[in-house]
Homo-oligomer: A and B are copies of this chain.
C-alpha cells in the first residue's frame, strides 16, 4: 500500500459543530490519514442548507443539493451529519444505492431505519458505519460488534445522554430543582432551546435501540424501547437517594433475560434510576457518558469519555471514515448487520427491577402497616423503609413521608401496588416511583 493509490473521495453532508470539525481534521491531518488509509482522502463537497462565503471552507466545495453530492461519481464515502431523520435517510439511501460507503452520526435515523439502510448497504456491498451515533467519542459499537463477537453479552447499561446527565449531576451537587438545573443547563448551552428529545429520554432511547440491536443480534427500534424522562425527578428524590447511599442517573439498559425453560428475551429501556454510589456509573458526572457492558466471559467492562460535542463526535466519525476508506483500498468490508438471534422483546410489565417509592401519609398509628400490606398483597417484598415527620410552613406537624425500597418485582406488580396505595385514605400523595439499578436483588 502506498500513497500513490487512487484518492478516496469524500462528501460531508452537514456543516454544524461535528461537520466543521470533520472538515478541519481532514485538512489538518491529511498526511497521517493518507498513511493510515493507504491513499489520500480528498474532500469533494459539503452539503449545506445555505451556501455562503462565511462558512470557513472554500465556497466552491459547498452545495445545497445533497442528493446530487451523495450520488457524485468521484465520491467514495458519504459522511452524513445533517441531523434529523429526513432528509438524512433519503440522502444515505441515495449514497448506498450509488455504491458509496456511508458514515453517519444519526442516532434517531439508525434507531428507526436500520433495517432499510443495512439492506441497502448489503445490496451494494459497501460499509455503513455509525460509531458516532452512540456515546460520541467513546468506542462502543466497535467493541460490541467486534471485540465481544465471540462472547455473550448479558447486559449493557449506560449514561448516554450528556444533557440529562449534566442536569442530574447539578441537582445532585447543588440540591437544585429540576427546573432550575434545566434553566442553568440551557444558559450554558448544555440543553437545547427545545430540550424534549433529551429530557424525555428520546435521544437515550434511540441509543438504547442501537445498543440492544448490536448486543443481542436482534433488530430493535426506538419504538421497542420503554422510556421515561427526567422531568419528574425532584430535589426530594435526590435527598432520599443520598440517604440511601445512591445517586440518580438516566440509564439506558439493554438486558438479555432467560426464563426457567431457557427461553431468552430481551429488554431495552430508559429511565431515571437510583444507582448505589459504589457502582461505576454513579460517579460519571456532568456531560460525560459511560457504558458498562457485562458479558459471560469478559465480565464487566466500562467505557468512559465525552459523549457529545463537535470534536469528540468528529473523532468517532473519522475513525469510521478511515476504516471505510481502508476497506475501499484493501478490499473487504466491515461487519454487516447481525440480526440472526431475533429474540423477542419483553414488555416493561414483565421486567423485574427494584423500586423506590416515596409518598406522603397521615402521621398516625397503623399507617406504615397499611402501606406495607399493599406491597405484601402483591408479593412485592420490601427491603428498606424510611419514615420521617414533616412540618408545614408554620412549623406545625403535617403528616409524614414514607420511602419504601423494594426487592425485585415486576413493573406490573409494582404499578398495581402504587395504584392501590394511591387509593388508601391514609396516603396523601405518591411523590415518586423510581427504579433502583446496579445492586443485588
Q: Chain B residue with minimal CB distance to A26?
A: B150
Q: Which of B304, B306, B323, B340 contacts A280 (CB 8 A)?
A: B304
Q: List residues of chain B with CB within 8 A of the CB of A304.
A: 280, 301-304
Any B CB within 8 A of the CB of A381? no
Segment at the B interface, from A90-98, A241-249, A314-322, A390-398: A314-322
Q: Using A295-B315, A338-B36, A340-B35 as known contacts, say yes or no to A322 and B149 having CB atoms under 8 A apart.
A: yes
Copies of this chain present: 2
Query: Is there contact, CB below 8 Å, between B326 and A298?
Result: no
Minimum distance in angstroms from A305 CB to a CB of chain B: 4
Q: Are B150 and A139 in contact (CB under 8 A)?
A: no
Measured CB to CB, the nearest residue on chain B to A317 is B150
Per the 8 Å Cβ criterion, residues 280-337 of A in contact with B are: 280, 295-306, 311-312, 314-323, 326-327, 330-333, 335-336
Q: Is A32 an interface residue (CB 8 A)?
A: yes
Minimum CB distance partner of A334 in chain B: B332
Q: Is the CB of B315 within 8 A of A298?
A: yes
Do A301 and B146 contact each other (CB < 8 Å), given the known contacts A151-B319, A332-B330? no
**In chain B, what residue has the closest Cβ to A305?**
B301
* B-side contacts of A338, CB under 8 Å: 35-36
Q: Does A33 contact B (CB under 8 A)?
A: yes
A72 on the B face (CB < 8 A): no
Q: 1/0 per residue A218-260: CB within 8 Å of B? A: 0000000000000000000000000000000000000000000
Cα separation A327 to B331 with both chains bound (whole Å): 11
CA distance A217 to B280 in the complex (A): 32
Chain B residues, Cβ within 8 Å of A335:
326
In the complex, whether A21 has a CB less than 8 A from a CB of chain B is yes
**Minimal beta-carbon separation of A131 from chain B (angstroms):** 6
Flag if A297 contacts B322 (CB, 8 Å).
no
Evaluate contact between B217 and A35: CB separation under 8 angstroms. Answer: yes
Contact with A148, one of B280, B306, B315, B341 (Cβ below 8 angstroms): B315
A147 and B319 in contact, given A21-B297, A137-B297, A330-B332 (Cβ under 8 angstroms): yes
Our pick among B146, B217, B306, B319 for the contact of A150 (Cβ within 8 Å) is B319
Chain B proximity of A330: nearest CB distance (Å)? 6
Residues of B within 8 A of A1 (CB): 336
Whether A407 sits at the interface, judged by CB under 8 Å, is: no
Does chain B have a CB within 8 A of A142? yes
User: How far does the alpha carbon of A316 sit from the alpha carbon of B148 in the complex, in Å?
Assistant: 7
How long is the Cα–Cα vector from A314 to B316 in the complex, in angstroms?
Answer: 27
Bitwise interface map of A from 122 to 163 toward B, beta carbon under 8 Å scored 1, else 0: 000000000100000111001100111111100000000000
The verdict on A131 contacting B149 (CB below 8 Å), with A304-B304, A312-B297 known, is no
Closest 6 pairs (CB-CB, A-B): A332-B332, A150-B318, A139-B147, A137-B298, A298-B315, A297-B315
Add 7 more A-B contacts to A25-B150, A36-B149 (CB < 8 A): A21-B297, A32-B217, A137-B295, A146-B146, A147-B319, A280-B304, A301-B304
A-B residue pairs in contact (CB < 8 Å), sample of 28: A29-B150, A29-B152, A33-B150, A35-B341, A36-B150, A139-B147, A139-B148, A139-B301, A146-B323, A147-B316, A149-B319, A149-B326, A150-B319, A150-B321, A151-B318, A151-B319, A280-B304, A297-B311, A297-B312, A297-B318, A298-B311, A298-B316, A300-B305, A301-B305, A302-B302, A302-B305, A330-B332, A331-B332
